[in-house]
Copies of this chain bind each other. A is one copy, B any other.
C-alpha cells in the first residue's frame, strides 16, 4: 500500500504569493487526500478521541470502510494528518528562505508575515493544537514534531539572530531564548484560532499582533546596540 501522505507536493513556485489555500489541494479522486483533509478538520475541532471515524468518512464523502482502505487504523490516520500537516509547512518555510539577501530584521518580518499568509491563516494552523494535545499519547508524533519542526524552527531563528548579532545588526542576547520568543506569537495565534478563539471572531488580530511583535523586536534588538553601550 502506498503512503499517500508522504507523496511530496509537486511544486511551490507561488509560495511567497500569499495564497490562503493549502498547498495540498484536494485533487479529483485523491481519496486519501480528501480523507486527511476531513480528518484534520475534525481532529482540530473535537480532538483525537472525540472524533469518530464514521464522521471523518462522512465529511470526506466516503464510507467507513474506505477510510480503512487507505489507513490501517485511526492511529495511523492521525499520524498521516500530522505528518502531512508538517511536511507542507516545512516546504513553505523553505520557499520563504530560498535566496534571501538583506537585513536579518527584514528576514524575520518576511518569515512571520509569510507564515501568517501561508500557514497561520489556513487549516494548517490546527496542527500545533493537535500535536500539543496528543503528544503524550503519540510519542512517535511528538518525536517527529520535535525533530522536524521545533528543533529546525528554533535553529533557523537562532541562526538568523546570531547572524544579525555577528553583522552588528542586533545587540547581543541569548540566541536560544530569543529564538523561542520570536516564535511564540505564531504559536499563540495558531492555538487561539483552533481552540478558545474558534467561536470568538475578532478577539485577536493576528496581523496586528505580529506587527507589534516585530516592532518590539526591532526596537529591543536595535536599542540594545547603543542603549547599553
User: A132-B132, A191-B132 are known contacts. Are A216 and B137 too (CB-CB below 8 A)?
Assistant: no
Q: Find out whether the CB atom of B47 lies under 8 angstroms from the CB atom of A195.
A: no
In the complex, which of the residues A46, A136, A198 has the most CB atoms of chain B within 10 Å of its own CB atom?
A136
- Nearest Cβ on chain B to A150's Cβ, whole angstroms: 7
Q: A145 CA to B203 CA in the complex, in Å?
A: 14
Q: Find out whether the CB atom of A222 lies under 8 angstroms from the CB atom of B216.
A: no
Among B135, B171, B196, B204, contact of A132 (Cβ-Cβ < 8 Å): B196
Q: A21 CA to B124 CA in the complex, in Å?
A: 38
Size bin of chain A's contact surface:
35 or more
- The interface bits of chain A over 172-183 (1 if a CB of B lies within 8 angstroms of the residue's CB, else 0) are 011011101100
Q: A14 CA to B136 CA in the complex, in Å?
A: 34
Give residues 116-146 of A contacting B (CB, 8 Å). Answer: 129, 131-137, 139, 142, 145-146
Q: A217 CA to B223 CA in the complex, in Å?
A: 11
Give A residues with C-beta under 8 Å from B.
Answer: 45-50, 129, 131-137, 139, 142, 145-146, 150, 171, 173-174, 176-178, 180-181, 184-185, 187-188, 191, 195-196, 198-200, 204-205, 208-209, 211-213, 215-217, 219-224, 227-228
